[in-house]
Amino acid sequence: MDATQMALIHIVSWSIGLVLFFIAYSMIKQGKAEKPIKITQMVLRVFYLLIVATGADLFFNHYGMNVEDTQFAEYIVKIVGGIWVVAAMEMTLAKAKKGKKEFSGWLQLIIALILVLALGFARLPFGFLP
């Protein structure tokens, strides 16, 4: 699999992940039954694995490790940020389920997403923004 295909799978994975996150969230808010929510969350967690696996592959096999080391720090921040996005999604859903305050979860999700999208699209070599 070449880098472009892997990057595409990465983008599709986190896009579907985000959509599933919003679906699960609105199901919780609508007070839907436990089971369909659980199933949606389980599918979402499979996508977490895909996100991490494609991200790791991009890093180890396509870019990152192979690229000039000038952007190494940005790669590390991108990877930690990506994991942070996943953690923030989990946190927000858990808080919503328990009826706790969701603010810190949403705040982290937004910050981590902006960070990761900026690095991924605008800074790291595969991005297409200037």
Q: Which residues bind ligand HEM (CB under 6 A)?
A: 7, 10-11, 14, 17, 51-52, 55-56, 58-59, 63-64, 78-79, 82-83, 85-86, 116-117, 120-121, 124-127
Task: Name the residue nearer to ligand HEM (CB basis): 97 or 126.
Answer: 126
Both tokens of 79, joined, read 């990877």
- Among residues 19, 3, 127, 22, the alpha carbon closest in space to that of 65 is found at 3
Least Å distance, CB 128 to ligand HEM, is 8
The CB density around residue 57, as the number of other CB atoms within 10 Å, is 18
Least Å distance, CB 13 to ligand HEM, is 8
Task: Name the residue nearer to ligand HEM (CB basis): 34 or 48.
Answer: 48
